[in-house]
Chains A and B, each alone.
Chain A
Amino acid sequence: MTPPQLAAAPSFDLDRLLTSIDTMAAQKPVAAQIVSVANSDDTSARALADILAADVALASRVMKLANSAYFGMRGRVGTLQFAVTVVGFTTVRTMATVALTDLDDESRLPEDFWRSTTSVALAASLLAPRFGERPQDALCLGLLAQVGVALLHHNDPEGYRELVAEEPTFPGRRAAEVRRYGISGMRLTSVALEQWGFPHGMVAPLSAVDDRSSTDGALLRCAFELAARLTQAGYEPVDVSELTGGQLREDVVGPVLDQVAQDADELRRAMLDS
């Protein structure tokens, strides 16, 4: 493990950024409420739908997602409550989080942010059963994994663009983030999600993604690998069995890549209003 380099950009203030995570909730109260109640054990689709109804934009996005090809329901989802049932509570919470963090505004995000995010999310969801994880949770973690990246970009668009240009790979970028900001985007994500009450079990892999000896981070690590293969030109693949301590072999990757490639755009469209 290399010692962290604390070479924060002069214009960057981590405290300010952390504070902004708190203020986001105040600006979008409905989304914040959903984030806080969605995964409690006594939540029902009806209760979530009732809250969701107060945010027309978010509600219509959930309806759109439920009727998207991604969930295969072919337009049979007519009510918000049923839409919540179909997409699952965690996904509703994830969409609320996306709204909360302005991830739905692509103009304020790094280039190709959603393309890589949906690929990571789909790959994680499809591989989840292999790792004993729930696909829904894996999908959501994948969708939110780069919240921290978006936050870093919000606060330092120019600097982040340079960083991306210099470090095309995900792991390289994360190391560069630590160098520049003192913290990786992914770590920032885990702080934010924990603060918003996402379960530790769901958040833990974010911290372990670069530790190849950790089984916690294997699924997400592998999902980033697959996303890189699909979204980064000239990418040199790393054998997934190396990334996962032999838990996954290359021969299952093919069909997963096919499915991810097939669904990513649809999911992106459903998550955003485009």
Chain B
Amino acid sequence: MTATPTTAIDPRVAPEIVSSVFYGASVSDTLALLVAEMSDVPRLSWGNEGAVHLLGYAQEDLRGLPVAQLLPSLRGSELKLLLRRERAARMNLPVRTASGVFVECVVVCTPTPSGRMWNLRVISADNEQERALRATADAHEQRFATLTERSPIPTLLSEQGMRLAHVNDAFCSLVGLQSEQLLGTGWMGSIHPDDLDHVIEQVAVVLGGGDGEAHARLLQEDGSERMTVIRFAHLFTPGVGAGFVGTIEDITERLAFEARLAHQANHDPLTGLPNRTLLAGHVAERFVRGAAGLACLFLDLDNFKVVNDSLGHAAGDELLVEVAARLRSVVRPGDLVARFGGDEFVVVCEDVDEEDAVALAERIGAALAAPVRLGGVDVRPYASVGVTVQAEEHTSADDLIRDCDIAMYQAKNGGKGRITVLDQQARAEARDKLRLVADLRDAIERREISLLYQPIFGTVDGSSTAVESLARWQHAERGPISPTTFVPLAEESGLIGPLGSLVLDETCRQLAEWDALLGPDAPRRANVNVSALQLDDNLHALVEAALLRHELHPSRLSIEITESALMQDPAAARGILQQLRDLGVQLAIDDFGTGYSSLAYLRHLPVDCLKVDRSFVAELAEGHTEITTAVIALAGSLGLCTVAEGVETAEMAEQLTRLGATYLQGFGLAQPMSGTGAAAWFAQRASQVAAPAVLPSLPVPRDPSP
């Protein structure tokens, strides 16, 4: 319901006064309007329905009521503040109603031009809607406060720059201070001085409306530090401005855990020394190509295996720990001591020349030489030390470490307990060898090692029913590489396993292929050479797997092992040979007569055949028949058959037959040939089967391969 002020019923209020106050406005009855005028004291002269309703006075009671009685908070002369003569005033005041209850109101007072009358508009500030809004806002604020206050996450709240308006208990306990000490800029003192700038930068970003995150160390009351991530979120309060909410994640434990993991990843658990990974990183960080002064010392303990084998692994470990401690104590501060692996250690030093490095190596040698008591025994640890100082030709950190490794091997080869500085030639040779090893690895992986097969002839009927597999390597740049080069290389570089597997597998595959091509005319057996290093418990499984894979009977294989390989550990060799024998493969001792076989052992080795070394066979041409005769006789008396190698002439063949050799093999009889070549060769032999197979009729090789 609305009423226009011109309907005012009291004639004492001039309509123009009312319209001057409420001009253009439509006035609701809910609006309380009063007119006051000056007599002895200011008194009300009129009130509208709204005023009657709000104040609880009857119209007639309002008339004459002192204004001061309605507004008792305006004490003394303060009534002047509201009832101004020249201008309107607006005040928030408690208004006393007829019942004596106070109502919070906004009172707007406008003077008439005479300056002796005022129009008062009284608006209750206490309406339902506002109260509800305030209550909602208060509830929101209360919930937010409770949430942050009780939150276990340290939380900061700023409404101005870096100045905090609020910190919760979690933050107080994190830094060990009272909130009063942290509010304002007080909390800045809890941030590590070195991290403060970054935090402020992030706050600046966040105040500008972005989001930010800072890693910062927080200082605790006791002086310790916590590593934290502070995440900032922009906070805007209308009418107030921008601030931020910061939440803190204490990552001290997480970082410590990560550091432990990183330490474990980079350190040897036994000695606590940096490991190979850290060493590589350390040297790489310091290596500047073309610079000088960086040196690596590579140490390998002499006779460590002896300690391990004789006193046990615990003693071996103890020795390594002791050596590590001595190394650490003898190097200069800042030098790195790393455990490279096994009984190998590397020391890295900076700002040294060759002389300094050698002096350090000597100091190390002296420090190590003091006896260590292990299991009641005094052991003097000696080390072979390779020294390399960075030079022009080192292009990377790896080069430097590799060179000191080479130097160490040189030292070792020169006799134990030595110090060697790597020279140019040795470096070049070692590099060359390393490249060849890499090439050999590739060749094995790509099956570029080919096999040639050399027929073996029986002396009884001159027939050939067996071949020996011979590995060949045609290097793309270097041409053919002799087995006498690449087999030892494979043995040294750990490639003999893959190489041996390749030869065994390929031989079996070839036998199976020949079977398919030639049927009964295919070679009945193939001899495969096995390195001394392959003579272990895996050999049996390897052989068996190859046979199975190509569906061959074990009798189709003969394993040839050199005499020297067998004699390295005859007891172990015997066991392995027995396994193979039980499997059903034949066994032959290669190069017999070149080693120093104990005849007693020989008697007990489960072998089928001795191969007479080509050097003895060659002596036949010079009339020396003694050894060959003796070997053949020995084999005969042990019930073994013999294969004479290196047969080059018909005369030799005839002579060996006469001496009682069982089989013959040599360039003079048949050259090694490819799998295809051998297939053709055997096919041709089969077609001539009607003709008497006499050995001296030297066959023409089909395959010109060496």
Contact = CB atoms under 8 A, between A and B. Distances in A.
Interface of A: 3-6, 8, 14-15, 18-19, 22, 39-43, 45, 66, 69-74, 76-77, 82, 84-91, 122, 125-129, 134-137, 178, 182-183, 187, 191, 194-195, 200, 203-204, 207, 252, 255-256, 258-259, 263
Interface string B68-90: 00000101111011001111011
A72 B238 contact: no
The 5 A-B pairs with the shortest beta carbon distances in the complex, nearest first, are A72-B162, A4-B76, A71-B161, A182-B77, A41-B238
Contact of B184 (A90, A182, A259): A259
A87 B77 contact: no
Interface stretch (B175-183, B589-597, B662-670): B175-183
Interface of B: 73, 75-78, 80-81, 84-87, 89-92, 106, 125, 159-163, 165-166, 178-181, 183-186, 188, 196-197, 200-201, 203-204, 207-208, 238-243
A89 B163 CA distance: 14
B91 A187 contact: no
A134 B75 contact: no
A203 B73 CA distance: 15
B574 to A, nearest CB: 83
Nearest to B90: A194
Given A89-B240, A135-B183, A15 B160 contact: no
A121 to B, nearest CB: 11
A255 B178 contact: yes
13 contacts: A4-B75, A4-B78, A6-B76, A15-B84, A18-B80, A41-B239, A42-B238, A45-B241, A66-B161, A71-B160, A74-B197, A82-B208, A135-B163
Nearest to A128: B165
Contacts of B200: 72-74, 76
B239 A43 contact: yes
Mostly, the A contact residues are helix
Contacts of A195: 89-90
Nearest to B181: A255
B241 A71 contact: no
A91 B75 CA distance: 31
B73 A207 contact: yes
Nearest to B178: A255
Given A8-B77, A15-B85, A126-B183, A85 B239 contact: no
A39 B80 CA distance: 28
A14 B204 contact: no
Contacts of B201: 76
Contact of A91 (B77, B106, B160): B160
Contacts of B239: 39-41, 43, 89
Contacts of B203: 73
Given A134-B165, A200-B92, A85 B241 contact: yes
Contacts of B78: 4, 182-183, 187
Contacts of A203: 92
Contacts of A74: 196-197, 200
B184 A126 contact: yes
Given A89-B240, A252-B178, A259-B184, A15 B80 contact: yes
A136 B81 contact: no
A143 B128 CA distance: 34
Contacts of B92: 194, 200, 203-204
A47 to B, nearest CB: 12
B157 to A, nearest CB: 9
Given A45-B241, A71-B163, A204-B92, 7 more contacts: A15-B80, A70-B163, A72-B200, A74-B200, A134-B240, A135-B160, A187-B78
A118 to B, nearest CB: 13
Nearest to B167: A129
B332 to A, nearest CB: 42
Contacts of B241: 45, 84-85, 87-90, 136
B179 A129 contact: yes
Nearest to B77: A182
B77 A19 contact: no
